[in-house]
Amino acid sequence: MRVGADRVDVQYRWPTTLRVPTRPPKLVYLDLNHWIGFAKALAGHADGHAYREWFDRCMALVQNGQVVFPISDAVYTEVSKIGQYRQRRDIREAIEALSHFVVVTSRPVIATHEVETLLDEAVGPNPVPINTMDYLDWGVARAFGMMGGFRVRDGDHADITNEVRATWPGGSDAFDAVVAAAELDLNRSVLDGPSADEEPQLRALGWDPTGTIAVTENRARQELEQVERFNADPRWRAGRIRDVVAAREVLIEINETLHRGLRERGAALDDVFGSPERTRGLLDSLPSFDVAVTLKMAYHRDPNHRWTTNDIHDIDALGSTMPYCDVVITDRAVAAHANATGLTDRLGTVVLARLDDLPAHI
């Protein structure tokens, strides 16, 4: 092992407060490009012909209870960038038919549970422990790490949902049906976005779909700035590149979570990370952190790699899915990096670029 350049050979610390579903069914995550292929197939588009058979085969896997095809917050964000309403709607129809809006929780939430497990072991239990939650859930709110669900509140903002449900005309089942229909409509509308006729009115009310996109663009710019730093001193690419990438990952992605966990335990950084060697081992034991750092290292080793927002979406999606799903099907370049860097071997996750290779892993 090259110190500071390679991952420390350490066992993963799997979060004790994140409930991962038992198998079967297997969890198979599809990148957006495959959902687009399915959408074209369902819409009768000529380019979707090759996907038609695969959509039917995947539907059979779902109906037989062999596979769940969850989506992530990255899918929601990427779909929102598509300009044409018809394309967004077609993708949503494919997602709804195959995934039924089953989602994996967001990478920041996963990272929080991983960091809390690390601190529990390194310092001691948190006096205000985080709630145990499911890795796999339903709906857009859960994909972004929010509670979700409709609640009824009175004029003083007190929650009166249970009272309204108990007195609802037709009974509580009728109330539940209304809420379920509303939640389904919400999930459809988030992916569909507004039609061309609806968009001007929504913008007049303050709707702005660019907020999340701007955040991702800023994160891509941060990586481009790091490219320039490596270019200015190329020795880092051949030396302690993992140390650099990991330090930036802490600062940008988990710094707030880490310091909050330490503060709640009355501990300081030195109580946990007493030396560079210990720091490397602890950070490399975090599954989603390892995915992000390893992939970013692979990209930064190539001085000609031009970072885009798609890279950020890919890394976020793989950070939340590679450690906890059975199969991830992404694009050819990302799959090549995931396999060449040893991530798939360490995590025991299959990462593919083609649906044709899926049957061998079900």
Q: First and final CA of the chain: distance in angstroms?
A: 34
> Against a cut of 0.95, is the pTM above it?
no
What local confidence, expressed as pLDDT, does residue 200 receive? 79
What local confidence, expressed as pLDDT, does residue 36 receive? 97
What local confidence, expressed as pLDDT, does residue 207 receive? 66
What local confidence, expressed as pLDDT, does residue 210 receive? 67
Spatial distance between the Cα atoms of 134 and 131, rounded to a whole number of angstroms: 10
Measured from the Cβ of residue 37, the count of other Cβ atoms closer than 10 Å reads 23
What local confidence, expressed as pLDDT, does residue 290 receive? 98
- Sequence-distant (6+) residues with CB within 8 A of 83 are none
Q: Which residues, listed in sequence order, are joined to residue 352 by a DSSP beta bridge? A: 329
- Sequence-distant (6+) residues with CB within 8 A of 236 are 229, 230, 244
Spatial distance between the Cα atoms of 283 and 12, rounded to a whole number of angstroms: 10
Beta strand 327-329 pairing with 350-352: parallel
What local confidence, expressed as pLDDT, does residue 109 receive? 96
Spatial distance between the Cα atoms of 347 and 321, rounded to a whole number of angstroms: 11
What local confidence, expressed as pLDDT, does residue 27 receive? 98
**Mean pLDDT for back-to-back runs of 10 residues, the chain (362 residues):** 86 97 97 97 90 96 97 95 94 98 97 98 95 96 86 90 93 92 92 84 70 84 96 94 97 96 95 93 98 98 94 96 98 96 97 96 94
What local confidence, expressed as pLDDT, does residue 225 receive? 95
Spatial distance between the Cα atoms of 188 and 75, rounded to a whole number of angstroms: 13
In SS3 terms, the chain reads as CCCCCCCCCCCCCCCCCEECCCCCCEEEEECHHHHHHHHHHHCCCHHHHHHHHHHHHHHHHHHCCCEECCECHHHHHHHHCCCCHHHHHHHHHHHHHHHCCEEECCHHHHHHHHHHHHHHHHCCCCCCCCCCEECEEECHHHHCCCCCCCCCECCCCCECHHHHHHCCCCCHHHHHHHHHHHHHHHHHHHHHCCCCCCHHHHHHCCCCCHHHHHHHHHHHHHHHHHHHHHHHCCHHHHCCHHHHHHHHHHHHHHHHHHHHHHHHHCCCHHHHCCCHHHHHHHHHCCHHHHHHHHHHHHHHCCCCCCCCHHHHHHHHHHHHHCCCCCEEECCHHHHHHHHHCCHHHHHCCEEECCHHHHHHHC
Q: Which of 362, 287, 355 is nearest to 318 (CA)?
A: 287
What local confidence, expressed as pLDDT, does residue 211 receive? 67
